[in-house]
Amino acid sequence: MNLIDTENLYCAHNYLPLPVMLVRGRGVYVWDDKGKRYFDMMSAYSAVSHGHLHPRLVSALTAQLTQLTVVSRAFYTDKLAPFLQKACELSGQDKALPMNTGAEAVETAIKAARKWAYKVKGVAADKAEIITCNNNFHGRTITIIGFSTEQQYKDGFGPFPNGFKNIPFGDTDALETAITENTAAFLVEPIQGEGGIIVPPDGYLKKCQEICQKHNVLLICDEIQTGLGRTGKLFACDHDNVTPDGLILGKALGGGMLAVSLFLSRKDVMDVFTPGDHGSTFGGNPLSSVVGFEALKLTVEKQLPDAANTLGEHFMQTLKDMNSPLIKEVRGRGLLIGVEIDGELSSARKVCEALMNNGILTKETHETVVRFAPPLVTTKGELDSALIIIKRVFKSLEEER
């Protein structure tokens, strides 16, 4: 039996992978078991923004592997402080709480917001509300899918916790209307990634911040996908000059190697946590800390946000200039790009399969959106050779009809 069949036999079918067996990666490229090379335009949902096996990340990781890996936070370790200090300095936040996956950091943010509402804002016991957006994606735990508006994410998994209220994304009037004296926080993605690369109106976050400040509500931005340069600024909030009250990071923070996430916040919010309130066996371990530290350092030193900005504009313009009848819309910011396929003429899955056959890997989000999110270390030359292939693939799909 081949390994695809074996995986299908033993692995839960909670994904539907493209039929390619990857065995090696380097920079923007990955190779399959037959030695064929592909440009990785998926970057593991933006977790591989630094490219595969970045030499600086490999050395940081391997050096730490000879020293100390995991001891739990029952003890201090020498790598956590520099990592969190750097994350706080870069984000303008006071304190950080280290976790592993994105969903765990979102759960941490929810716990912090609720406890802040009770202990600091003075909301009555068990009444705290958190406002979230329609079409959000914040992860897969029961609490988080409970406030998802995607039926498939929820189907068969109820009952769900109370205390969440959904409003339309991009609508500041709806935010102001939804706020009550019990509102603890507004949790929002600066750009909805899994929701289909949805960019809100200009100035949206700035206005959200004003409304939140006026009503003493925490603005918590989930930048797990949009953070660390992906949208052309270090954080997507920077486009609006907003420093949120809480910031959630993950994905690229692990340098494409480990699950590393953080919830960052103001001192008065983070100080609601006392020893024993919350924790994680692996969160903040020395191995994760050195990788997170190096991932942050690389992002700044290599000016990855600027690269994403320049390459992203070129990428989007080229896609628009193709004027393909299959494409309804090209949208995004930096190197987080969504191409809306006309569902009458083709499907996103079909486009992804054709791209794969021509050496470009990416995946659809929903039925109609093809995502292009290459590593931020992509060079102009690498991008241009990929764009030639993308043009050719769209042409041949157009002719096929």
Ligand X SMILES: *Cc1c(COP(=O)(O)O)cnc(C)c1O
Interacting residues with ligand X (CB under 6 A): 45, 101-103, 106, 137-139, 189, 193-194, 222, 224-225, 250-251
Between 191 and 390, CB nearer to ligand X: 191
Q: Which of the following is catalytic: 83, 137, 186, 263?
A: 137
Phi first, then psi: what are they for 299, rounded to 5°? -55, -40
Closest contact distance (angstroms) between CB of 380 and ligand X is 27
Between 100 and 324, CB nearer to ligand X: 100
Closest contact distance (angstroms) between CB of 283 and ligand X is 13
Task: Name the residue whose CB lies closest to ligand X.
Answer: 102
Beta bridge partners of 340: 329, 369
The secondary structure element, H or E, covering residue 87 is helix 80-91
Q: Helices 380-400 and 348-357 sit at what angle, rounded to 10 degrees?
A: 120
Closest contact distance (angstroms) between CB of 119 and ligand X is 26
Reported in sequence order, the residue ranges of 286-341 that DSSP labels E, i.e. its strands, are: 327-333, 336-341
Between 322 and 363, CB nearer to ligand X: 363
Closest contact distance (angstroms) between CB of 39 and ligand X is 21
Cα–Cα distance measured from residue 211 to residue 172, given in angstroms and rounded to the nearest whole number: 8
Lookup: tokens for 177: 């209307």
Establish whether 222 is a catalytic residue.
yes
Q: Is the peptide bond before 305 cis (omega within 30 degrees of 0)?
A: no
Establish whether 137 is a catalytic residue.
yes
Cα–Cα distance measured from residue 242 to residue 207, given in angstroms and rounded to the nearest whole number: 10
Closest contact distance (angstroms) between CB of 377 and ligand X is 20
What b-and-e string marks burial along 323-342, b requiring 16 or more CB atoms within 10 Å of the CB? ebebbeebbbbbbbbbbbbe
Closest contact distance (angstroms) between CB of 79 and ligand X is 21
Between 4 and 11, CB nearer to ligand X: 11
What b-and-e string marks burial along 14-30, b requiring 16 or more CB atoms within 10 Å of the CB? eeeeeebeeeebebbbb
Between 163 and 250, CB nearer to ligand X: 250
Cα–Cα distance measured from residue 375 to residue 252, given in angstroms and rounded to the nearest whole number: 10
How far does Cα 67 stand from its chain's mean position? 30
How far does Cα 276 stand from its chain's mean position? 29
Between 54 and 138, CB nearer to ligand X: 138
Cα–Cα distance measured from residue 135 to residue 168, given in angstroms and rounded to the nearest whole number: 8
Q: Which of the following is catalytic: 222, 238, 240, 245?
A: 222
Q: Which of the following is catalytic: 251, 282, 293, 372?
A: 251
Closest contact distance (angstroms) between CB of 196 and ligand X is 12
- From first CA to last CA, the distance across the chain in angstroms is 36
Cβ atoms < 10 Å from Cβ of 267: 9
Between 61 and 106, CB nearer to ligand X: 106
Lookup: tokens for 41: 């335009």
- Using CB atoms within 10 A of its CB, is residue 2 exposed (0-12), middle (13-18) or buried (19+)? exposed
Question: Which residues does the annotation mark as catalytic?
Answer: 137, 222, 251
